[in-house]
Structure 1
């Protein structure tokens, strides 16, 4: 089977990457609305229209450069605004709001795994088969990366917000206090410790592929 060129891979990756980061953010806003905060809805962010969620750097430039230079896909969308004070039970509800994004990514990973399986048994051949198989594989991979990475217990990542809600108030306040330095911590983690996360990502990816009956 022919290999896709870099430009073809970028084209193939566009759909799963856009949906991965868009639906991640929509899930945050949708769950926030369920718990009483309509901020995202009022700002028109509860939509799957990617134009409402695209961050020119995080959604376009960073994923393209990452794929071109490292073969690794990574990116983000504009965060959906959540007014924690509007939630009925702010500490508890914020945990569900935060977990909704990675949860949406895991659901999408499952969808793309079955998409890949359907393509594999469809009888498609040549470049068409390679195009859709690659799309499905990227869909699984990027969604697993986003789910696993975002659940790291570092504010402002989703995992940090979940952990903050689980901790006693004093410990939660201490954890929240590092949020201004969270980006630096996250970048340091990527630079020095990303290798520790790769086996986890590989295991979760293989799990979803196995559910769909793919080796």
Structure 2
């Protein structure tokens, strides 16, 4: 049964909100655990999506992506982290950055388990829940892989800065001011898709192994 445009947007809405909200909250929780209370003081360690929604990046762009059938793309308001306040700034940066993508993998796994057991739900909900589960898997794996790309200010860039020797880390971190421009250029030239596809396939395969 073919879903209407409204049903399709509704099926994507909840996974998008969860994926972005939990991702940002995970950064905040990790930062607090390692000593930085900036996000907590600003009320950003929360699962309330209203605290994390960016009208363009969280609502408009993902909706257009779904309607036009393009690559799902979007963002939320980043949770503020003062890395200088972490107990071991360079080392702990890795765990704070990794918390977001890790939460996306856990959510992809959860949606995968729902998909595998959709037959336990009422028959009338099978089509909608199948679409929602597939959307949840897709959104979270794309966010996971995209954020692991080693380009500041993405999480992968923070992870790279944490792992590089100090001198190289300082130079690499300076790319951040151009990071979004580089990312958009890679996206529209198709290079980003070529670079991320093998990593996305790896996580899809891993997810399949864990669900079966």
| Equivalence map 1:138-149=2 (5 Å) | 138-149=135-146
Which whole-Å deviations, capped at 9, do the CAs of 1:156-181 have from their partners, x for residues lacking one? 00000000011111100110111100
C-alpha change, 1:96 and 1:155, in structure 2 (3 Å) is same
Does 2:145 match 1:125? no
Runs of 4+ that moved beyond 4 A: none
Give me the whole-angstrom Cα distance separating, in 2, the residues matched to 1:9 and 1:198.
Answer: 25
Stretch moving more, 33-42 or 70-79: 70-79
Residue 159 (structure 1) aligns with: 156
The offset of 1:72, in angstroms, is 3.2
Which whole-Å deviations, capped at 9, do the CAs of 1:2-31 have from their partners, x for residues lacking one? 021222111111001100010000000000
How many residue pairs end up in the alignment?
A: 210
Give me the whole-angstrom Cα distance separating, in 1, the residues matched to 2:140 and 2:22.
Answer: 10
Residue 42 (structure 1) aligns with: 41
Instruction: List gaps (5 residues or longer) in structure 2.
Output: none
Cα contact 1:59–1:77 (8 A) shared by 2: yes
Match among 165, 170, 176 for residue 168 of structure 1? 165
The offset of 1:67, in angstroms, is 1.5
Residue 134 (structure 1) aligns with: 131
Which whole-Å deviations, capped at 9, do the CAs of 1:119-173 have from their partners, x for residues lacking one? 1x316435x2110011111111110000101000000000000000111111001
The offset of 1:66, in angstroms, is 1.4
If the length of structure 2 is used for normalisation, what is the TM-score?
Answer: 0.94
Q: RMSD in angstroms over aligned alpha carbons?
A: 1.4
Cα contact 1:74–1:142 (8 A) shared by 2: no
Residue 111 (structure 2) aligns with: 112
Does 2:1 match 1:5? no
Which whole-Å deviations, capped at 9, do the CAs of 1:61-114 have from their partners, x for residues lacking one? 110111212343222110000011111110111111001100100011111100
Residue 204 (structure 2) aligns with: 205
C-alpha change, 1:3 and 1:195, in structure 2 (3 Å) is farther
Give me the whole-angstrom Cα distance separating, in 2, the residues matched to 1:57 and 1:205.
Answer: 28
Give me the whole-angstrom Cα distance separating, in 2, the residues matched to 1:20 and 1:186.
Answer: 20
Give me the whole-angstrom Cα distance separating, in 2, the residues matched to 1:162 and 1:123.
Answer: 40
If the length of structure 1 is used for normalisation, what is the TM-score?
Answer: 0.93
Residue 29 (structure 1) aligns with: 28
Give me the whole-angstrom Cα distance separating, in 2, the residues matched to 1:99 and 1:203.
Answer: 18
